[in-house]
Structure 1
């Protein structure tokens, strides 16, 4: 209780964010003091999974947003106003929905931000839409959030499933690993996995590849031995993973133990899960929205700042995406002169550009609120050419190519999104 009194944090905030009071204070987000009205802090309601199969990614997300807020506050804030964060573990869609509603009603947050699970993001979006509150969905990738389940009040900063498939598919085609090949897929049994499988099937059909088997697995599954035995019996040319979070890690470790020589690729992977898989446990080609070796001054400065803030830890893609989401919001607050959500939405829909530390700036596409940006593939280096998990991944060519329009890798307007 002494810690709570000194920090000004409620028991709810200390126990449910998954970070200690000392960490919260280090981010410059202790309880507000008495301020004049015009100096009232801007408050972000931050929801990410800190437990369950996406929990590791959630901690990177918290770190990235806190770093952005630290830097903004150190530079004088936004029009003299500092930014504060109320962060909580979203846990599951039902809990995420309840916490989002509470943040709006009790905490009077100015904006909702975060989430990685597509199912939880859909639940938060419903609350945001009902309350006309802006929601920056930082990590969910399901295409339905940009299509039939889109909302005027939701903007998505991560790349969608269709783009991940395009990024990996481009690299696979260049390596002769698509035309005439037989694929076997393992897919997470929830909205994200179903959506990713749909995009994968469309890619296979368009590129003369055959899907000879698919296994749906629940998100809580940790034992994949039965699935691997089916793969061994089917003898596909390539195993393709449509899994989320630490399921990728668990599968790859078990797959390595079985000693199968059938190559694995994936249409979804976060770098933290690749690191957790360990050296020598997987290969193939995988998609990413960002990687710490991107050769731009912005990315390298962010990596250096993140390492300095978090004891040398290498930032993962969710740390980067929350960081740039925080900077995007700050630019919007500055531009509209406050936190009026309708004004910010109009500002985003003008397709103004944002520096996201890549070679090309990004912008929110008006018709579906997707952040249009470059994507990448990466692969695993040959054994013996690296000494740690943080050095085992090699970034592939940017997608699309520099002379090709960014929107070329994104789904066209089908009319499914009706804002």
Structure 2
């Protein structure tokens, strides 16, 4: 495997290459991700290591063609992501565009590449990616906001947490999560008692937490993630807020950063947990030889999807992205934990989620031992019905 990192210089809000453009050759993968911003702790360099693992495990080549990995930081800015993607597309010979873990950026890039001969595997969970922004060679890797919201909201309401207050990051992904969360809340007999939106620059969430307490909330739905979610958990503990938090996108890294004591009495659902079974523990052991902690769900899914893409490309025997994605749809995705997933006609990855409760500090054996897996939620129970799809690829 050849690895090329593209260093970006920011000039008037436009990304430009600070080094001579590398010559394209062989099987080219662009990992375009948040390498330095709010989601980088979940993805960023750690998912790069997972991608490298997948490439190395595959042997470093496809049909005798060397695999070349390019890495670039979109800085959580749609215009930067679009500029980087356009430069790669215009140069030609890009085979796989991977990640773009920012909803607005992914939707902009989706428009750019929809008619191009390349595969786009997106980490953005926004619903338009499997609706009006779907594409014939596009796959949505992460659980969408519909699935995330239902997998977490409905069981908690059924368990007695009826009154909800939302703290939501004010862009497409957060708005999607809250909207679908509210829908699941209403359908399961819950009640919305209030909500607050925060900008990406927000660091003080105390007013929102105190308002949730004043309004008698039984649960605080966190339609946010990363550094913001960590700050909310820490500040809830600081202000003595005992209302259970209901994070929609919780990662082990969030618990590590805030402390397990800040995430007590939390029940939810997750897409991968490193300590689920022998297979996940073996993968985690290998991953930690390359990175300083166990893999998050995003790291695991990066490994799974890169492996699945390479298998499909190998079987296709050429660089026709349409044929490669056809092969990807036909074959089951082999998940690290031994389960399988599949790709639906709208590009949605149909995968189960796993319910959990957080351990108490007394139950935890140490760093990263945070969750108890309590069950499995089948993919079809948390998937948006195709009958309401706006994706032109879905047959009516």
TM-score (norm 2): 0.89
* Cα 1:247–1:342 shift into 2, 3 Å: same
Matches within 5 A, 1:237-252: 237-252=218-233
Deviation at 1:132, TM superposition (A): 4.3
Match status 1:393 vs 2:371? yes
Deviation at 1:173, TM superposition (A): 4.8
- Counterparts of 1:171 and 1:336, CA distance in 2: 42
- Counterparts of 1:157 and 1:134, CA distance in 2: 12
* Cα 1:256–1:229 shift into 2, 3 Å: same
- The 8 Å contact of residues 163 and 410 in structure 1, kept in 2 or not, is answered as yes
- The 8 Å contact of residues 336 and 343 in structure 1, kept in 2 or not, is answered as yes
Q: Aligned match of 2:333 in 341, 345, 354?
A: 354
Matches within 5 A, 1:280-295: 280-283=261-264, 284-295=266-277
Match status 1:383 vs 2:354? no
Find runs of 4+ consecutive structure 1 residues off by over 4 angstroms: none
1:36 corresponds in structure 2 to none
More strand by proportion, 1 or 2? 2
TM-align CA RMSD: 2.2
Deviation at 1:296, TM superposition (A): 5.1
Q: Which runs of 5+ in 2 are unaligned?
A: 10-21
* Cα 1:152–1:183 shift into 2, 3 Å: same
* Cα 1:309–1:8 shift into 2, 3 Å: closer
Deviation at 1:155, TM superposition (A): 0.5
Deviation at 1:381, TM superposition (A): 0.9
SS of corresponding position for 2:384: coil
- Counterparts of 1:118 and 1:264, CA distance in 2: 24
Q: Aligned match of 2:319 in 339, 347, 356?
A: 339
Deviation at 1:339, TM superposition (A): 1.9
Q: Aligned match of 2:343 in 364, 381, 390?
A: 364
Matches within 5 A, 1:112-261: 112-137=97-122, 139-173=123-157, 176-178=159-161, 181-261=162-242
1:416 corresponds in structure 2 to 390
Q: Which runs of 5+ in 1 are unaligned?
A: 1-6, 17-30, 34-39, 401-405
- Counterparts of 2:108 and 2:274, CA distance in 1: 31
- Counterparts of 1:219 and 1:332, CA distance in 2: 38
TM-score (norm 1): 0.84
SS of corresponding position for 2:286: helix
Q: How many residues align?
A: 376
Q: Aligned match of 2:87 in 102, 114, 117?
A: 102
